[in-house]
């Protein structure tokens, strides 16, 4: 355990020392993966489906605010949708505008969580980020994660029906083309089930971790992992929605592991040394519960191994310097 704590302190110190460079590199690779996944599924436009353009946009994202990742992701999606249908691209653009409007009104932040959610959606494991989101910020993270799920659903819906859309492009009316993205969302029961599970999981995790009980974070992680699985299982069997149960369980396990790792790095406390104190002022009595953080000092210790050979060498050095043993 001490070795893990030392490793934790080294990682934290390294991050705090080089945080600017680490964050920039992280944003670059995060945006690069998102854009490559988007072009891999809906790369209909030769203009944006260009690796050099993708790398260039990712480099720009590395030195801008995290919201740039969301902006360029939407730009690439719309550019690809224009190659399918301008009407569909316009409607999706309106939906994206509404999402950004909500983002700036409520200021939920956590664009990193939204980008990670998109990646996990492409991996068919959208719930991996739910427990971590509940630990990080709570219900406010619901907004960007829901938008990420909707974002992926639109991409998947258009790519799944691309052959139909491209073959009937001249026979479908303009109004039908505008409504098509809304049909994708309204008729996608699986998406609504996932959103419901994510929302409830985030709220459960946040509620439990706020409790003043021992090991609240550990309990929150376990409860969130189990609740996400049970909610989707009920939705699958009661709502008669097809879901890959294997990926569901893998998603829950991966999410629990990610949350445990996050907890280890940001909330390592020793409940065995909990202290209680109280004090007062003119208006109130205060009862305080103090739980100490687990900290390990990373000190450099030099160890000298003493052997028979070392003793003989020291004796010879004494003799040569004129110092004789009595």
Please check whether residue 80 lies inside any domain of the structure: yes
Alpha-carbon distance of 18 to 178, in angstroms, equals: 48
Among candidate residues 128, 131, 130, the one with its CA nearest the CA of residue 220: 131
Supply the pLDDT for residue 29. Answer: 96
Per-residue pLDDT of 53-66, as tens digits, reads 999 999 999 999 88
Note whether 194 and 109 are same-domain residues: yes
Note whether 60 and 202 are same-domain residues: yes
Least confident of 151-155, 181-185, 196-200, 308-312: 308-312
Q: Which residues contact 83 (CB under 8 A, 6 or more apart)?
A: 44, 45
Distances (CA, A) of 103 to 67, 140, 186, 192, 313: 10, 10, 22, 20, 72
Percent residues over pLDDT 70 in the chain: 86
Q: Which of 247, 269, 291 lies at the terminal end of a domain, its last residue? A: 269
Q: Which residues contact 266 (CB under 8 A, 6 or more apart)?
A: none
Please check whether residue 310 lies inside any domain of the structure: yes
Note whether 42 and 157 are same-domain residues: yes
Confidence of residue 131 (pLDDT cuts 50, 70, 90): very high
Supply the pLDDT for residue 249. Answer: 92
Among candidate residues 97, 45, 104, the one with its CA nearest the CA of residue 76: 45
Per-residue pLDDT of 188-198, as tens digits, reads 888 999 999 99
Note whether 107 and 22 are same-domain residues: yes
Mean pLDDT of 10-20: 88
Supply the pLDDT for residue 47. Answer: 87
Contact predicate 35/73, CB 8 Å: yes
Please check whether residue 250 lies inside any domain of the structure: yes
Total domains in the chain come to 2
pTM of the model: 0.83
Note whether 49 and 168 are same-domain residues: yes
Q: Which two tokens stand for residue 107?
A: 């200021």
- What is the Rg, in whole angstroms, of the alpha carbon atoms belonging to the chain? 28
Please check whether residue 143 lies inside any domain of the structure: yes
Residue 42 has pLDDT above 50, yes or no: yes
Domain boundaries, position 282: 275-320
Among candidate residues 80, 83, 205, the one with its CA nearest the CA of residue 142: 205
Alpha-carbon distance of 108 to 156, in angstroms, equals: 25
Q: When comparing pLDDT for 290 and 199, which is higher?
A: 199
What number of CA atoms fall less than 13 Å from residue 131's CA on the CB side? Answer: 28
Please check whether residue 20 lies inside any domain of the structure: yes
Among candidate residues 97, 116, 99, 89, the one with its CA nearest the CA of residue 34: 116
Supply the pLDDT for residue 241. Answer: 79
Confidence of residue 326 (pLDDT cuts 50, 70, 90): very low
Note whether 51 and 168 are same-domain residues: yes
Note whether 309 and 190 are same-domain residues: no
Q: Which of 238, 253, 269 lies at the terminal end of a domain, its last residue? A: 269
Supply the pLDDT for residue 297. Answer: 66
Note whether 194 and 314 are same-domain residues: no
Q: Which two tokens stand for residue 140?
A: 């406010």
- Per DSSP bridges, beta strands 285-290 and 275-280 are antiparallel
Per-residue pLDDT of 136-161, as tens digits, reads 888 888 999 999 999 999 999 888 87
Among candidate residues 38, 137, 143, the one with its CA nearest the CA of residue 99: 143
Supply the pLDDT for residue 315. Answer: 53
For the four alpha carbons of 182, 186, 191 and 194, in that order, the dihedral sign comes to positive
Note whether 75 and 207 are same-domain residues: yes
Per-residue pLDDT of 65-89, as tens digits, reads 889 999 999 999 999 998 888 888 9
Residues 190-222 as b/e (b if ≥16 CB within 10 A, e otherwise) read: bbbbbbebbbbbbbbbbebbeeeeeebbbebbb
Note whether 223 and 173 are same-domain residues: yes
Q: Give the dihedral of Cα atoms 38, 31, 127, 132; nearest 10 deg.
A: 180
Mean pLDDT of 199-203: 94
Note whether 12 and 69 are same-domain residues: yes
Among candidate residues 64, 77, 75, 71, the one with its CA nearest the CA of residue 28: 64
Supply the pLDDT for residue 6. Answer: 83
Among candidate residues 69, 73, 68, the one with its CA nearest the CA of residue 41: 73
Please check whether residue 39 lies inside any domain of the structure: yes
Please check whether residue 325 lies inside any domain of the structure: no
For the four alpha carbons of 74, 77, 79 and 84, in that order, the dihedral sign comes to negative
Please check whether residue 130 lies inside any domain of the structure: yes
Note whether 231 and 307 are same-domain residues: no
* 289, β-bridge pairs: 276
Mean pLDDT of 152-178: 74
């Amino acid at each position: 355990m001490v070795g893990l704590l030392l490793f934790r302190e080294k990682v934290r110190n390294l991050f705090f020392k080089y945080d600017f460079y680490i964050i920039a590199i992280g944003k670059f690779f995060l945006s690069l993966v998102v854009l490559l996944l988007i072009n891999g599924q809906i790369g209909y436009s030769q203009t944006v489906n260009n690796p050099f353009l993708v790398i260039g946009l990712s480099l720009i994202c590395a030195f801008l605010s995290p919201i740039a990742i969301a902006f360029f992701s939407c730009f690439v999606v719309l550019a690809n949708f224009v190659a399918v249908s301008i009407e569909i691209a316009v409607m999706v653009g309106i939906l994206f505008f509404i999402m950004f409007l909500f983002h700036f009104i409520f200021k939920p932040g956590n664009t990193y969580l939204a980008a990670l959610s998109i990646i996990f959606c492409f991996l068919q494991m959208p719930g991996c980020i739910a427990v971590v989101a509940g630990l990080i910020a709570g219900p406010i993270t619901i907004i960007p994660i829901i938008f990420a799920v909707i974002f992926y659903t639109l991409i998947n819906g258009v790519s799944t029906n691309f052959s139909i859309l491209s073959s009937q492009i001249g026979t479908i009316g303009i109004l039908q083309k505008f409504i098509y993205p809304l049909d994708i969302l309204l008729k996608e029961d699986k998406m609504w089930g996932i959103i419901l599970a994510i929302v409830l999981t985030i709220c459960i995790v946040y509620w439990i971790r706020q409790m003043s009980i021992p090991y609240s974070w550990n309990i929150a992680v376990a409860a969130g992992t189990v609740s996400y699985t049970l909610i989707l299982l009920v939705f699958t069997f009661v709502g008669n929605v097809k879901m890959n149960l294997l990926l569901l369980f893998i998603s829950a396990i991966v999410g629990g592991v990610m949350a445990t790792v996050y907890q280890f790095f940001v909330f390592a406390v020793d409940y065995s040394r909990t202290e209680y104190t109280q004090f007062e002022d003119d208006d109130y009595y205060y009862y305080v519960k103090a739980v100490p953080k687990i900290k390990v000092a990373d000190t450099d210790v030099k160890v000298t191994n003493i052997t028979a050979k070392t003793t003989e060498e020291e004796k010879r050095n004494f003799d040569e310097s004129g110092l004789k043993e009595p």
